[in-house]
Amino acid sequence: MTDAPLKLFNSLTRELETFQPVHTGEARVYTCGPTVYNYPHIGNMRAYVFADVLGRTLTHKGYELTHIINITDVGHLTDDADEGEDKMEKMAAEKAQSIWDIAKHYTEAYWEDIKALNIRQPAKWSVATDYIEEMIEFAKSIADKHCYELDSGLYFDVSTIEDYGRLARAITEDGEGRIDTVEGKRNAADFAIWRKTPAGETRQMEWDSPWGKGAPGWHLECSVMGEKLLGFPFDIHTGGIDHREIHHPNEIAQNQAFCGCGGLSEATNSGARIWMHNNFLVERSGKMSKSSGEFLRLQLLIDKGYHPLAYRMMCLQAHYRSELEFSWEGLEAALTRLKRMVMAAERIVDAPDGGVTDHPKFKPAREKFEAAISDDLNTPIALTALEDALAVKKVDTAIKRAVAEHMDAVLGLGLFQLTRAALRVRPKSAEISEEEIEDALARRKAARAEKDFATSDALRDELASKSVEVMDGDPLGWDWKLG
């Protein structure tokens, strides 16, 4: 294991804590996955890039990682706090398709984004509907002491546990900020752990339970899959910062009930020792909203010609706990930076993989990298350490390659698999193929060699009319780009 101790910011204590595994040599991580009723937007994908960097860092530190990401295909309502309709049911009705088909389509689309962003496969993608029986058993085990039944379902009484809402900090005794529209709830913050199908209705997804036909509440699934697959307490639970307010406090409340209900001064009662949350990717014009026409999916970036890993670079350039503002200019800048790194990597790509990273010339870069990544995953600084390593001169290229690969294993840019050509901006709407561009450029080069500047200029203008910008002498080595 590497020496710098790994410090992580625990949202539960709001402090940096040194990572101490529950099981020696292991790290068990649970990440709240997507609700597969629509395509993920790039903000959602920021949450998985963050979880991926966390997982890669734990592997880098020598821990045997078990990472679970779930797929929510039931239970998530249009409002996180028990209001509205089930997102899956709603989309299935709108599209007149079965929920199962909707779930399959959007799960596969999500996996494509995962792959395109070099996010490693977790040990398991756990699908909520595969755990219904276990959810019912879990609910049964806490129902007597912590729940009450209403016509609409089985509700968790948050006053039966200590410290409810501590993770969110903002919640007061009367559940400030919650709209209480479910009649009969004892406390505004009480939440459904089982939602009964209303009399006379049939839902596409419903199961028998001791509380009648219905479906589980969203928070229940993560408690159950976390416990079943990782065991309580496991090491780290992750999600976006919105989950710090409702979903995770409710998960913690259920876990406390399940674990015998101690207060949160005992971290083990919360199910996971460390709760980590990534901040949001924001965009001012509202294109992050899945209800807007052209919303910001990874595929939109690709269609506009950007390599998906430029977006990963953009995420890495910000600390995961800072808000990150999306802009096309920002994406372009991230792409240029990635391209510079790939250029440096291309020069050493053929070096034999020596595996030796221990050379005094790389010591400062390696120490900087180690300190940065150990300091609550400070990827912005870690990136500069990688750049420092790539810039070291007059050294054995095999060592340089080993050092860079070692760092990139954490950052996940895949520098040695990328080429500059693959990073070229290529909008889908381009009217000209790459072969045609290369052919015109070859003819232009031949014309220039013969000092036939009229032909050379004509070819350049023709390319410009098709949005191809010829870039003679570009320091980054792109001869052309599509505008």
Q: Which of 6, 8, 32, 348 binds Zn ion (CB under 5 A)?
A: 32
Tell me how far, at minimum, the Cβ of 280 lies from ligand AMP, in Å. Answer: 4
* Alpha carbon distance 248, 239 (integer Å): 9
**C-beta closer to ligand AMP: residue 224 or 389:** 224
**312 contacts ligand AMP (rule: CB under 6 A):** no
Tell me how far, at minimum, the Cβ of 315 lies from ligand AMP, in Å. Answer: 9
Query: Treating both helix axes as pointing N-terminal to C-terminal, what angle do 397-411 and 363-374 enclose, rounded to 10 degrees?
Result: 10
Tell me how far, at minimum, the Cβ of 37 lies from Zn ion, in Å. Answer: 15
Tell me how far, at minimum, the Cβ of 365 lies from ligand AMP, in Å. Answer: 30
Please count the residues of the chain.
483
Could you tell me which residues are beta bridge partners of residue 275?
237
Q: Which of 27, 92, 116, 222 binds Zn ion (CB under 5 A)?
A: 222
Draw the binding track, 273-292, toward ligand AMP (x: CB under 6 A; -: no contact). -----x-xx------x----
Say if residue 260 is exposed, middle or buried (CB neighbours under 10 Å; 0-12, 13-18, 19+): exposed
Nearest to 353 by CA among 412, 385, 396, 388: 396
The CA–CA distances, whole Å, from 56 to 122, 234, 310, 360, 411 equal 11, 18, 19, 25, 8
End-to-end CA distance of the chain: 47
Count of residues that bind ligand AMP according to CB under 6 A: 15
Token digits for 368? Answer: 């900087």
**C-beta closer to ligand AMP: residue 44 or 223:** 44
| Binding partner of residue 47 among ligand AMP, Zn ion, none, CB cut-off 5 to 8 Å per kind | ligand AMP
Draw the binding track, 25-54, toward ligand AMP (x: CB under 6 A; -: no contact). -------x-xx-------xx-xx-------
Applying the rule CB under 6 A, the residues between 241 and 260 that interact with ligand AMP are 242-243
DSSP, collapsed to helix, strand or coil, labels residue 353 as coil
Tell me how far, at minimum, the Cβ of 31 lies from Zn ion, in Å. Answer: 8
| Binding partner of residue 57 among Zn ion, ligand AMP, none, CB cut-off 5 to 8 Å per kind | none
Contact partners, residue 339, CB within 8 Å, separation at least 6: 420, 423, 476, 478
Helix (H) or strand (E) holding 462: helix 453-465
List of residues contacting Zn ion (CB under 5 A): 32, 222
For binding to ligand AMP (CB under 6 A), which residues are involved?
Answer: 32, 34-35, 43-44, 46-47, 239-240, 242-243, 278, 280-281, 288
